[in-house]
Structure 1
Amino acid sequence: MWKRMLEQLWEGHPRKMAGLGIGAVLGIIYLFFGFWHMLIFALIVYTGYYIGKRLDRGEPAFPVEDIWRQLMDKWRLFR
């Protein structure tokens, strides 16, 4: 049952699952070798999930153009 569910998730959302897995592995490494900060662990896992989710939707992992456009619109007042 679990194997079939994981296969369906992997087929439907491969990058999201990979991001979640990478985030979980990095989080476990942090927990094992660092302090036991569960909030940091959750943040690392969520970041991996979020990046994978964006890649599944065909969006860039880091929206550099959107951020640049927002900054330029904000600072345009001083020109």
Structure 2
Amino acid sequence: MFWQFILENRGKAFGLAAGFIFGFLFLWVGFFKTIVFAVFVATGFYIGRKFDNEEDVSEVLDRILPGKFTKR
């Protein structure tokens, strides 16, 4: 029953888990460290999504740091 609810409501379950984790981090380490952690998680998710979709990650990295990741 529990797993069936999770599978039928993936977005709600993910949101609940993310809210719990970030709430715990906020209480444990503080506001600004939690914000920095969230930025790192979002960046990792973005780059991971690029890899999953087989997109060119070097274009993104080249926009951030021009000339550092491309061979010319």
TM-score tier, shorter chain, comes to 0.3 to 0.5
Higher relative contact order (CA 8 A, sep 6+): 1
TM-score (structure 1 length as normaliser): 0.35
